[in-house]
Structure 1
Amino acid sequence: MSSAPISTLFLDLGGVLLSDGWNTACRKKAAETFALDAREMEERHHLTFDTYEVGKLSLDGYLERVVFYESRPFTMEEFRRFIFSQSYPFPDMIELIRKLKEKYGLKLAVLSNEGREIQIHRIQAFDLPSFIDYFIVSSFVHLRKPDEDIYRLALDVSQTPPGQCAYIEDRPMFVDVARKLGIQGICHRGYATTKAALAGLSLSLESA
């Protein structure tokens, strides 16, 4: 248990509150749907996606390199719509975080690696500003996890001591980096275990 009350939650988005935005499974499905060479697409993706995710390339620019480097029988807009359609929410996690915010007056921040257009779509489609206070996103701030500077930026923006912050993330390495900086880390494996871990930090919806 932390020595001071948790007042800020940093939340990964993909894998915690929402599905991943553009992961391996989504790309495989795209290759099947649009009859693309999956191996070539994946190689091109890995060569350039970091540039998109850190905000130095637009989604259209990324797609020009990965898909539209040659003529296709479908449009870029059709492919963009497919990408956006792959996202879906995890309602139980969203409801848990909403209720904890309401009960404890928490500040909530998304701390996410995501390309700009995909992230903006997800923010708007799932009405995240209705309960998230601010968004620290790799493509917005030009830093990516596990760079310690993006965590330091989150702390600076929140103006909360590290020990009063908790971070929910599904990648163990990213949790480890946060813990190194004094942030309370929760490695998300599912609703039940994360709810229990939050209760261990005195963030529980149960009556005392």
Structure 2
Amino acid sequence: MQQSSPITTLFLDIGGVLLSNGWDRAARKRAAAEFSLDLPELEERHHLTFDTYEEGKLTLDEYLFRTVFYEERPFSRDTFKDFMFAQTEPYPEMIDMVCRIKADYGIKIAIVNNEGRELNEYRIRKYGLNKFVDFFISSCFVHFRKPDADIFRIALDIALVAPQEVLYVEDRAMFVSVAEGLGINGLCHQDYASTREQLGKWGLAV
């Protein structure tokens, strides 16, 4: 085990970092085409209710009732959910790099992400994130969602670390900025190569 970094803990986003986004605008556009839905109507209903789903205050079925199944459809809810789950793709290089860093440096790995419970749990288990992540501070579990700074305060408490010990890897600059406002070190992820280089500068070379 190497011991050359001031960082004891990585906070990581999932969508855009370890996996593709689970249910983003592009996925909804594909769904509208696949199921002959009115895309503007789907988008409006989605934006009115998705934050509540991500905060763990709605089930996936309730979210879908508000956005898709508020009227009769020629397809089932299970068929639509299967389509939603199938939109995820893993980023194997990023997952492998995080696993190597954990093995080489013995640091803690925590997920800090916005996601609804059913999508979150499916993605975690499907791609084995629970095999190397120590803590999941997901919006659906803690009922706060980024950019609310409280989700980062909860993550610090759960991981029992000081902000200066943490490096937060996230693809959205605003969320990185919020974390940095609490004293957490930020790394705005763009691609595997640049993130690997930046991790090396923090003493986490792989």
Normalising by structure 2, report the TM-score: 0.97
User: Equivalent residue for 1:203?
Assistant: 204
Tell me, which stretches of 5 or more residues in structure 1 are unaligned? none
Secondary structure at the counterpart of residue 110 of structure 1: strand
Q: Which amino acid aligns with 1:7?
A: T
Could you tell me how far apart the structure 2 residues matched to 1:190 and 1:142 are? 29
User: Equivalent residue for 1:71?
Assistant: 72
- Structure 1 position 134, deviation (Å): 1.2
- Structure 1 position 160, deviation (Å): 0.9
Could you tell me how far apart the structure 2 residues matched to 1:39 and 1:149 are? 32
- Structure 1 position 176, deviation (Å): 0.4
1:78-117 deviation line (CA, Å, top 9, x unaligned): 0000000001100000011000000000100110000000
User: Equivalent residue for 2:114?
Assistant: 113
1:50 and 2:63 aligned: no
1:145-204 deviation line (CA, Å, top 9, x unaligned): 111110000000111111110000000000001111111100000001111111111110
1:142 and 2:143 aligned: yes
**Count of residue pairs the alignment pairs up:** 203
Secondary structure at the counterpart of residue 168 of structure 2: strand
Q: Which amino acid aligns with 2:33?
A: E
1:191 and 2:192 aligned: yes
Q: How does 1:122-141 map to 2 (within 5 A)?
A: 122-141=123-142
Could you tell me how far apart the structure 2 residues matched to 1:53 and 1:149 are? 15
User: Equivalent residue for 1:23?
Assistant: 24
Tell me, which stretches of 5 or more residues in structure 2 are unaligned? none
Could you tell me how far apart the structure 2 residues matched to 1:190 and 1:74 are? 37
Could you tell me how far apart the structure 2 residues matched to 1:6 and 1:70 are? 51
1:169 and 2:175 aligned: no
Secondary structure at the counterpart of residue 111 of structure 2: strand
Could you tell me how far apart the structure 1 residues matched to 2:129 and 2:203 are? 24
1:102 and 2:128 aligned: no
Could you tell me how far apart the structure 1 residues matched to 2:203 and 2:181 are? 21
Q: Which amino acid aligns with 1:17?
A: L
Could you tell me how far apart the structure 2 residues matched to 1:25 and 1:148 are? 27
1:38-64 deviation line (CA, Å, top 9, x unaligned): 111111000111110111110000000
- Structure 1 position 141, deviation (Å): 0.5
Could you tell me how far apart the structure 1 residues matched to 2:183 and 2:194 are? 21
Could you tell me how far apart the structure 1 residues matched to 2:137 and 2:90 are? 19
User: Equivalent residue for 1:61?
Assistant: 62
- Structure 1 position 5, deviation (Å): 1.1
- Structure 1 position 127, deviation (Å): 1.0
CA RMSD in angstroms comes to 1.0
Secondary structure at the counterpart of residue 52 of structure 1: helix
Q: Which amino acid aligns with 1:184?
A: N
Could you tell me how far apart the structure 1 residues matched to 2:178 and 2:48 are? 25
Could you tell me how far apart the structure 1 residues matched to 2:128 and 2:82 are? 18
Structure 1 runs of 4+ with >2 Å offset: none
